[in-house]
Amino acid sequence: MKRVSLASETITRTDLEMASAWLLSGAQLTKGPETLKFETQFASRIGSKYAVYVNSGSSANLLVASALLQSNYLRNKRVICPAVSWVTTVTPFIQLGFEVFLCDADENSLGLDVDHLERLIEEHDPGVIVLVHVLGHPNDMARIRDLADQNDILLVEDTCEALGTTIPEGQGLGTLGLAGTFSLYYGHHISTIEGGMVVTDDYDFFQLALSIRSHGWSRDLGEETRHQLASINGVDPFRNLYTFYYEGFNLRPTDFQAVLGQVQLGHLGRIIDSRQSNFLFYRELLSKYWSQESEFDTISSFAYGTLVADPQRVAAELSSKGVESRPLICGNIARQPFWLKNHSRIPYPVADIVHDHGIYLPNHAELSLEDI
C-alpha cells in the first residue's frame, strides 16, 4: 500500500551532493558570507528590503517580539494574536511580558475575524497585531491594514505557512507590515533542515534584529550603526567587539544551512505551482465539504484544511488506507493547556469549531493529482 505523507523532503539528492562538496571544500561552516548571500536572495525573492536568517521559524517570532520590545516603536505592550495559530506565535510575547489578547478566526480564511479584531482594538487599544496566514491563505489585509493605520498599531505577519502566497495587488505575504516571519523547517515550502527568516523594509528594525540575533553585540551591523552605538556608549575599539548593546540571544544559523537555502530558493516556483494545483484539485473533489476561501493572486497552500463531524474517526480511517492527517494546526490556542494555566476558558466560536472538527490533509510538491 502506498503511503501518502503530510510532508515531503524538499532537499533533493542533487542538493545534498552539492552541499557535501561544499562541506568538503573547507569553507566556513558557522554563520558567515553564505548567510549574507542567502538573506539577500531571500529578501529579493519575497519583495522586502532586508532579511535576517535565524535557526527556526519560532526563533524568528521570538526575535521580532524582542526587537519590538527594545525598539522605540511600541506605544504599549498589549498585543492581539490569533486564536488559530501556533504556540510560538503567541508564547514569545507572553515570555517577554506583553499582555496578549486572542482574536477569533474568520469563518472563511481562518485568519483574523476582522469584526472581532475591531472590538478588541476598541476595548484594549493594542500596540501590536500579530496575524497568521493559516495554511497559506491571506488574511483580509485591506481591512486589517486600514484598522492598523487608523489606530497607530504595528502589524507583524507570521507567514510560516504561506511562503510564496501573493495577494491580488501582487505583494507577497510577509511584506505587508513592519515585519514578517517564515519557517524553513522540514515539511514547509522549502527547507534548510531547521531555519527561519525575518523580513522587513525598516532599516532600524533590521539593524536591531541583527544585533539581538547574535548576543546583542554590533558585529553584524552596518558600519554607521556600529560607530554610532560605540560613540553614544563611549566604547573604545578594543572593547567594541565584546560589548553588548541590547538584550540578545544566540539565534544564529550556519553557513551550511544558508548554502542549502540558496539552492532551495531555486525550487520555490515549482513548489508553489504544485501546492496551488493540489489545493484547487482538493477543493474540486471535496466540494461538499467546507473549504478555506480567501482573496489571493497565488496560493502557496501549506495543507488542505476542512471540517468533519468526527476528526479522530476520519483520521483513523485515512491511516488505515495509508494516508496521514492531523488536527488543523493545533485547533484553538485558547484551549491549549499552557494558555488555560493563566486564563479562563471563554468561547471563540469559529476557533472552537476548528478545534472540534478541523482536520488537514497532505499537500506538498511531491503529491500527485492521482495521490489526491
Give residue 334's pLDDT. Answer: 98
CB atoms under 10 Å from CB of 152, counted, come to: 9
CA–CA distance, 317 with 157 (Å, rounded to integer): 35
CA–CA distance, 191 with 7 (Å, rounded to integer): 11
Q: What is the pLDDT of residues 213-226, one digit of tens each?
A: 999 999 999 999 99
- Of 99, 56, 95, nearest in space to 191 by CA: 56
Q: What is the pLDDT of residues 306-323, one digit of tens each?
A: 999 999 999 999 999 999
Find the mean pLDDT for residues 297-304: 98
Find the mean pLDDT for residues 89-106: 98
CB contact burial 329-353 (16+ within 10 A = b; e otherwise)? bbbbbbbeeebeeeeeeeebebbbb
- The single residue of 116, 133, 137, 188 carrying the catalytic annotation is 188
Question: In which band, very low, low, confident or very high, does the pLDDT at 2 lie, cut at 50, 70 and 90?
Answer: confident
Alpha-carbon distance values, 291 to 110, 272, 282, 285 (Å): 10, 19, 9, 11
Question: In which band, very low, low, confident or very high, does the pLDDT at 130 lie, cut at 50, 70 and 90?
Answer: very high
Contact 29, 23 (CB under 8 A): yes
- CA 364-254-51 angle, to 5 degrees, is 70
Question: In which band, very low, low, confident or very high, does the pLDDT at 31 lie, cut at 50, 70 and 90?
Answer: very high
Question: In which band, very low, low, confident or very high, does the pLDDT at 119 lie, cut at 50, 70 and 90?
Answer: very high
Find the mean pLDDT for residues 5-34: 94
Q: What is the pLDDT of residues 138-178, one digit of tens each?
A: 999 999 999 999 999 999 999 999 999 999 999 999 999 99
Give residue 1's pLDDT. Answer: 77
pLDDT at 362 over 80: yes
Q: How, if at all, do strands 154-158 and 128-132 pair?
A: parallel
- Of 259, 283, 287, nearest in space to 191 by CA: 259
User: Can 267 be counted among the known catalytic residues?
Assistant: no
Question: What would the 3-class secondary structure string for the chain be?
Answer: CCCECCCCCCCCHHHHHHHHHHHHCCCCCECCHHHHHHHHHHHHHHCCCEEEEECCHHHHHHHHHHHHHHCCCCCCCEEEEECCCCHHHHHHHHHCCCEEEEECECCCCCCECHHHHHHHHHHHCCCEEEEECHHHCCCCHHHHHHHHHHCCCEEEEECCCCCCCECCCCCECCCCCCEEEEECCCCCCCCCCCCEEEEECCHHHHHHHHHHHECCCCCCCCHHHHHHHHHHHCCCHHHHCCCCCCCCCECCCEHHHHHHHHHHHCCHHHHHHHHHHHHHHHHHHCCCCCCCCCCCCECCCCCEEEECCCHHHHHHHHHHCCECCECCCCCCHHHCHHHHCCCCCCCCHHHHHHHHHEEEECCCCCCCCCCC
Domains by residue range for the chain, with CATH: 13-265 (3.40.640.10), 268-361 (3.90.1150.10)
Find the mean pLDDT for residues 67-85: 97
pTM exceeds 0.85, yes or no: yes
Strand partners, 298: 166
Q: What is the pLDDT of residues 44-65, one digit of tens each?
A: 999 999 999 999 999 999 999 9
Mean pLDDT taken over the chain: 97
